[in-house]
Amino acid sequence: MAVAYLSLAWGTTYLAIRIAVMHYPAFLFAGFRQVIGGFLLGVIALALYRKADLSRKMILHNMFVGFLLITVGNGIVAYAEKTVPSGVAALICCLMPLNAVVLNLLIHKNETLNTKIVAGLVLAITGVGLIFRDNLSDLINPSYLWGMIAIYVGTLAWAYGSIRNRYREAKSNPLFNSALQLLFGGMFLLILSPVVDSYENFEPFQPDAMKAMAYLIIVGSLLAYSLYMYAFKILPVGVVTLYAYINPLVAVILGYFILDERLTWFTALSFVTIVSGVYLVNTGYRKQKQSIK
């Protein structure tokens, strides 16, 4: 159920982020969203468990993971969606499971490539190339090109942060640890906002943006993030990251119908190619893990 929720919920957040950053400075918006979501989740976590690991080691761990997942992973995507359509952003983020597998291979030296992993990497890279092919005219705009590159960097940070968090035992209060990650990541975004953001044409009480903010706090941060961390604790990486196969499809369809974002055959082919590549990499990785056991 957790993976099913993530598959649908996080697919809709790309649209909500796109709507919000049309009116709000991206880091300021993302920071407030995550701090509020983290505070609410922390209150709920303490009410349920009535205990928390506040050791220096665990606080530093949550601070680091929060920086990777929230500040870099989520913040950069929000900032890039000022110039990159929500559907394209989701397609690039679809590479996150692939990044997680590749980083696992690099970190754990006893693991090696096999035919399926190599074939999947080639397919996924081809799919990214199709995104560029479908948006050649937009690449003349440097902010669009750098936005796409930034989103990919965000997926790398999210993948590495997820791996680091998975291998750190945090049994005392997993919800509270997730809350700390949201809080720390959000605070870093707020600190960076004056340096990164432009406050021109800032509309703090714009109705659509406020609705998007509320939706993202409840659906994207409070519920989805806690379920993501819970799923990562009890399920294999390959199963948890299945949500990334469905997210881009949801985002592309919503972007097309609600924001009139361009949808072409190249977009569809890019989606199929990337998802197929990520699937091959994941199956190749699982096969390798079974052979090692």
Q: What are phi and psi of 242, to 5 degrees?
A: -60, -25
- What is the structure's pLDDT at 49? 79
Query: What is the rounded distance in angstroms from the CA atom of residue 17 to the CA atom of residue 275?
Result: 23
Model confidence, pTM: 0.85
pLDDT digits (tens, 9 = 90+) for 245-289: 778 888 888 988 898 887 778 778 888 888 888 788 777 777 766
**CA dihedral for 79, 20, 38, 173, sign (positive or negative):** negative
Residue 107 has pLDDT above 80, yes or no: no
Average of per-residue pLDDT across 17-36 = 95
Average of per-residue pLDDT across 31-48 = 93
Average of per-residue pLDDT across 67-76 = 96
Residues 6+ apart with CB under 8 A from 214: none
Residue 244 has pLDDT above 80, yes or no: no
Band the pLDDT of 170: cuts 50, 70, 90: low
Query: What is the rounded distance in angstroms from the CA atom of residue 196 to the CA atom of residue 134?
Result: 29
Query: What is the rounded distance in angstroms from the CA atom of residue 46 to the CA atom of residue 95?
Result: 35
Query: What is the rounded distance in angstroms from the CA atom of residue 107 to the CA atom of residue 205?
Result: 46
Residue given tokens 């990520």 in the structure block: 278
**Region label for 50, one of left (φ > 0), alpha (ψ between -120 and 50) or beta (otherwise):** left
